[in-house]
Amino acid sequence: MITVKNSEQIACMRRAGALLYEVLQAVAREVKPGVTTASLDRLAEAMIRDHGAIPSFLGYDGYPASLCTSVDSCVIHGIPSEGQILRGGSILSLDCGLILDGWQADSALTVPVGEIPLAARRLIETTERAFFAGARKALNGNTLGDIGSAVQSVAESAGYGVIRDYTGHGIGRDMHEEPSVYNFGLPGHGQRLCAGMTLAIEPMISQDDWHTDEGNDGWAVLTRDGALSAHYEHTIAITEDGLPEILTLPGHHWEEDTHGADSL
Ligand code: MF3
Ligand code: CO
């Protein structure tokens, strides 16, 4: 069942989203060569708890951390560890979720570790652009296929692969609600969208082939061919008659946003 939220409920999700934005920005600022992924996880958990929120990933299906730290060919669900020391030239996807006053927020971004090759920067930028292209199709009366096809066309026209085996999702009181939000599809197809739906849109884009394998810790998802992969996610709310509100990107205004320009 898809749950539609009223404006008070969306206000709660906006507060959760704003806190998650601060957490992810603080974690991203600490990313540099020599840092362990476990230290990033500790920072995320401490900040979440200090603000009276709960880390939603910790204990979810037995997941052992508050943050996912996915390096290079790891697409998602990299478990932070003391033994994993970040090296310059890598890319790191940071994915985090929290619950504030019973309402969920979920967001991810990919950041460089030190200096990275131009090709890796282009992958990160294209993944963000794919998100914004998809998100700007999250309109009252549109369909899920409109979002997926917009994400897919940005990624594939840049020569990249769209990960197929994992999707975005509805979000609200639960982290994972219906519907599944595919990062590919056909315009006009699939579930119709309406005002008050809140979605986590999260393109996962590979530099090459989209096939994935599971790592041997039971969590990590890796590109099968070892290609670099980037992830970018926000929790959004569909509005009555305008562009969606990006709840995990406080202060965002579409008119200032060049990522989502229709020309792209
Ligand atoms: N952003 C991820 C998702 O949408 C986070 C899940 S990690 C888990 O599924 F550990 F919580 F499962
Ligand atoms: Co998510």
Query: Is residue 91 assigned to a domain?
Result: yes
Helix (H), strand (E) at residue 19: helix 7-29
Peptide bond into 64 cis (omega under 30): no
Tell me if 63 CB under 6 Å of ligand 1: yes
Query: Is residue 164 assigned to a domain?
Result: yes
Query: Is residue 30 assigned to a domain?
Result: yes
Q: Which of 109, 110, 175 to mutate to test the pocket of ligand 1 (most atoms within 8 A of CB)?
A: 175
Phi, psi of 96 (to 5 degrees): -145, 155
Number of structural domains (the chain) is 1
Query: Is residue 1 assigned to a domain?
Result: no
Give the CATH number for residue 163: 3.90.230.10
Q: What is the pTM of this model?
A: 0.96
Query: Is residue 163 assigned to a domain?
Result: yes
Tell me if 106 CB under 6 Å of ligand 1: yes
Query: Is residue 87 assigned to a domain?
Result: yes
Range of the domain at 141: 7-263
**pLDDT per residue as tens digits for the range 196-228:** 999 999 999 999 999 999 999 999 999 999 999
Q: Work out the pLDDT band at 264, boundaries 50, 70, 90.
A: very low
Instruction: Give residue 194's pLDDT.
Output: 98
Flag whether pLDDT at 258 surpasses 80.
no
Phi, psi of 168 (to 5 degrees): -75, -170
**pLDDT per residue as tens digits for the range 31-47:** 999 999 999 999 999 99
Query: Is residue 2 assigned to a domain?
Result: no
Tell me if 50 CB under 6 Å of ligand 1: no
Alpha helices by DSSP H, listed for 108-183, are: 118-135, 144-157
Instruction: Give residue 255's pLDDT.
Output: 78
With contact defined as beta carbons under 8 Å apart, do 195 and 201 qualify?
A: no
